[in-house]
Copies of this chain bind each other. A is one copy, B any other.
Amino acid sequence: MRLVGIIGGMGPQATVFLMQRILDLTPACGDADHVPLLVCSDPRIPDRTAALRGAGPSPLPALIGAGKRLEAAGAELLAVSCNTAHAYLPDLRQALDLPFIDMVDEVAADVSGRLPPGAAVGVLATDGTLEAGIYRDALAARGLRALEPLPEDQRRVMAVIYGAAGVKAGCVTQEQADILASVIGALHRRGARAAVAGCTEIPVVLDAFKPDTEVPVISSTDVLARAIIREAQSRA
């Protein structure tokens, strides 16, 4: 198997949860069946949404630095366990020699296998991800249409991620799950046929409380986990 490098720590809980999902989704009878991983969990990487909104320093130098650490350590391919950081993926590809797994494109490919062309897909993500348009573009490239929460709902999604009682503050609560389910319900009423949990903090909440939702929710964490297992096992 190939040694997969993960640029993580954005946040650290989402990175640990990704690693857990890689374990859960790997058919294994013992340690040696599991994917070898090199993980740089660096929570000092500047906030991606703040940077994309012009309210903070760019995370790009730190993202490149983490990638170079993993390259130096012998990683054979790279993944980034933060959707918003994928706004910088073209720059990362230019700065580093190793191939990258593109979580956002993997998610769009997964959703496109489930829905008819032209279908609307709700996107639960950070302000940075939405403003950078990375899901809008990736879904459009697969013939699908991104549907964003209305502003008040988007503020509630951001509070689940970044609030004083948010995932990044170490809280994972039923109330967060209820908020996410309610935002997904509103997207469904506006026409969404599925929803993407397009921030790796969100599946931490959904997995813990498994709220009922009107439409299927595609976890970007699980899609990335499956892509990491697949690419680790591929010869390419």
Contact = CB atoms under 8 A, between A and B. Distances in A.
Interface of A: 1, 3, 9-13, 15-16, 19-20, 23, 28-44, 47, 69-70, 72-74, 164, 168-170
A32 B40 contact: no
A70 B74 CA distance: 9
Contact of A170 (B19, B23, B42, B69): B23
A94 B170 CA distance: 39
**Nearest 9 CB-CB pairings of A with B:** A73-B73, A69-B73, A11-B31, A31-B43, A34-B43, A39-B39, A72-B72, A37-B41, A12-B34
Nearest to A41: B37
Nearest to A3: B42
Contact of A37 (B10, B35, B39): B39
Contact of A38 (B23, B33, B73, B168): B73
